[in-house]
Amino acid sequence: LVLNSGSSSLKFGVYSAADGEVRATYRGETEGIGGGEGKIWVKDGAGKTVEEEARNFSEQADAAKVVAEKLAKLKLAKLNGVGHRVVHGGPSLTEHQKITPQVLQTLEGAAHFAPLHVPAAIALIRESEKLYPGVAQFACFDTAFHITMPEAAARLALPKKYWDAGIRKY
């Protein structure tokens, strides 16, 4: 299961692997989180709509619960892992990795780097740990894709103290 939290949406996909090939079996989205008028839709691997419903979601956790309900109806095989797209891991979380209590604590300390996105991602991770107990959770950071930029390209025209605090271009 892959979850991609946005400021007002939650996209998700379920993937399976067989014979070395990864296939999308289901994908969907909750829309309008926090807006009063939302909906959820789910499509199968062929793109056919299998669920669509108007629904209000006050926060990411509400959306995650409804996604879990819809996926439970589909009688999926046991999940092997849950991947979370996280916009920014701060200066310390620079590689995709398994979420541990320490990783989550570090991520909470980096929330100020992307205040519209990281707190929502943290809430989603915490809810996913409740919804899928015992299933490994992984964080995939957008910033990890750009961490190899040369320093000359990543530095902003700001005093060194900002670079030392983790402020950089990605």
CA-only gyration radius of the chain, Å: 17
128 Rama sector, left if φ>0, alpha if ψ -120 to 50, beta otherwise:
alpha
Tell me how far apart the alpha carbons of residues 8 and 57 are, in angstroms, rounded to a whole number.
9
DSSP states of 111-125 = GGGSTTTHHHHHHHH
SS3 27: strand
| Maximum pairwise Cα distance, the chain | 55
What are the residues facing 126 on neighbouring strands? Answer: none
- Neighbouring C-alpha atoms within 13 Å toward the C-beta of 152: 0
Taking residue 141's Cβ as centre, other Cβ atoms within 10 Å add up to 24
Residues with catalytic function: 142
